[in-house]
Chain A
């Protein structure tokens, strides 16, 4: 039987399904979903999504408080003497980090893809 239509109904369904799959893959890898990692003693002790505002701390270091706000993360208070960690301010880009030397804690934004920096010079 001749089908004179360029696309029939099942073609559209197939195309739509495949396009949805493509979009899911796209957003899985390139969508926001960036994370802040808290690193103590060389290992990540907590990861926090940057799209959920709030304060938190980790039990390993209860005197250091972190905040997630508007897609960025920061040390918000610390019992260390120099407070260089707090003064670093909010960071949001992959590769950026703030460190509290006296407490041995690093807050780092995970590099999500190749458009992110691997690290920062300062």
Chain B
């Protein structure tokens, strides 16, 4: 009888034992600032701290390289980046790194596939919104919306067909135009950074670049066959809850929501995702999360689906083999078919 009691209690203990890191792996995390004007988190399971630091160095270097190439605000000595391309709009073609060519071609494809919901030539319109938001930070009392006549004028200079990509160069034909790759660049860069770490030997890792999450492998812990990526919802009492958790293994998870970057004019909240059709912030959904193995596509699709109706979004997902979670303004959560 004593033996039975001992066995029972031991079984209870075993059931209570926490899942633990396995096979000599340790879980390490690192935080980076200054990349894509956001915060980046890198988590990985590696055998040693040195291994982790080596992979972290690769991830950081790749993100920093992409950040400089796709920067539209700053110039870097000896580097032709998107600011160089924008500065030479209507002037001359600019020779650029193949990564810029690849990203811009993906941007043009995104425009075609999303019926213009994603437009990397929206720079002139986005600039007006950016300025209105930034001005409001310093002077919230006098926050204002951009002038609709100015927005409409700016929209005349957003023709995707005026981007000429030829033999390693990019030329913007219209002198009034400018590129803004904000809807696709972070996902693209996170995907490239994770691939570089994987090629170097990383088996289990996660990058969260300003909300663009890409997961490699699974966490090296007992009982875990996927990473868990939370979807947040701001609530009226000033707390931010987790409303769902998406299991992720070898896939990217990206949320587009109106709650992260916004400003308030006369008590109304305006977010930073602009619908090219209305030139106003998209307001159909509270947030949309996209799950897609391709990190660049996940980033692009989350913005596109945030702008689009549910029906158009579903059709687009099918084309990319992706899934989505919509959160409505009333808090209801639905998944793609």
By a beta-carbon cutoff of 8 Å, the part of chain A in contact with chain B is 6-7, 10-11, 14-15, 18-19, 21-22, 25-26, 29-30, 39, 42, 72, 74, 81-82, 84, 88-93, 95-97, 99, 101, 104, 106, 113-114, 116-122
**Which of B8, B229, B260 makes the CB contact (< 8 A) with A119?**
B229
Most buried by B among A18, A82, A119: A119
B1 touches A11 (CB 8 A): yes
Would you list the 3 A-B pairs with minimal beta carbon distance, nearest first? A117-B230, A18-B9, A122-B211
By a beta-carbon cutoff of 8 Å, the part of chain B in contact with chain A is 1-2, 5-6, 8-10, 12-13, 16-19, 30-33, 37-39, 41, 43, 137-138, 206, 208, 211-213, 219, 221, 223-224, 227-232, 234, 238-242, 245-246, 253-255, 257, 260-261, 289
**Closest approach, in angstroms, between the C-beta of B20 and any C-beta of chain A?**
9
Q: With A and B bound together, what is the CA distance between A96 and B242 in angstroms?
A: 8
In the complex, what residues of B have CB within 8 A of residue A113's CB? Answer: 18-19
B230 touches A121 (CB 8 A): yes
**Closest approach, in angstroms, between the C-beta of A4 and any C-beta of chain B?**
11
Q: With A and B bound together, what is the CA distance between A92 and B237 in angstroms?
A: 13
Closest to B228 in A: A117
**Which of B9, B10, B33, B229 makes the CB contact (< 8 A) with A120?**
B229
Q: Known contacts A29-B16, A101-B37; can you find 7 more A-B pairs with CB under 8 A?
A: A6-B1, A29-B18, A89-B240, A96-B230, A117-B228, A120-B230, A121-B211
B16 touches A22 (CB 8 A): yes
A121 touches B5 (CB 8 A): no
B228 touches A89 (CB 8 A): no
**Which of B39, B138, B230 makes the CB contact (< 8 A) with A81?**
B138
Q: With A and B bound together, what is the CA distance between A95 and B43 in angstroms?
A: 11
B232 touches A119 (CB 8 A): no
Closest to B39 in A: A99
Q: With A and B bound together, what is the CA distance between A7 and B238 in angstroms?
A: 55
Q: A6-B1, A81-B137, A101-B33 are in contact. Are A25 and B16 (CB under 8 A)?
A: yes
Q: A42-B30, A121-B230 are in contact. Are A97 and B211 (CB under 8 A)?
A: no
B33 touches A117 (CB 8 A): no
Most buried by A among B9, B38, B234, B257: B9
Q: A25-B16, A96-B240, A117-B228 are in contact. Are A104 and B2 (CB under 8 A)?
A: no
**Closest approach, in angstroms, between the C-beta of B228 and any C-beta of chain A?**
5
B239 touches A89 (CB 8 A): yes
B9 touches A19 (CB 8 A): yes
B229 touches A117 (CB 8 A): yes
Closest to A19 in B: B9
A119 touches B39 (CB 8 A): no
**Closest approach, in angstroms, between the C-beta of B250 and any C-beta of chain A?**
14
Q: A30-B18, A106-B39 are in contact. Are A121 and B253 (CB under 8 A)?
A: yes
B9 touches A101 (CB 8 A): no
In the complex, what residues of B have CB within 8 A of residue A116's CB? Answer: 228
A88 touches B240 (CB 8 A): yes
B213 touches A121 (CB 8 A): yes
In the complex, what residues of A have CB within 8 A of residue B213's CB? Answer: 119-121
A sample of 25 cross-chain residue pairs with beta-carbon separation below 8 angstroms, ordered by A number, consists of A6-B1, A7-B1, A14-B5, A14-B6, A15-B8, A22-B16, A29-B18, A81-B138, A91-B239, A95-B228, A96-B232, A101-B39, A106-B31, A114-B219, A114-B221, A114-B223, A118-B219, A118-B229, A119-B41, A119-B230, A120-B211, A120-B232, A121-B208, A122-B211, A122-B260
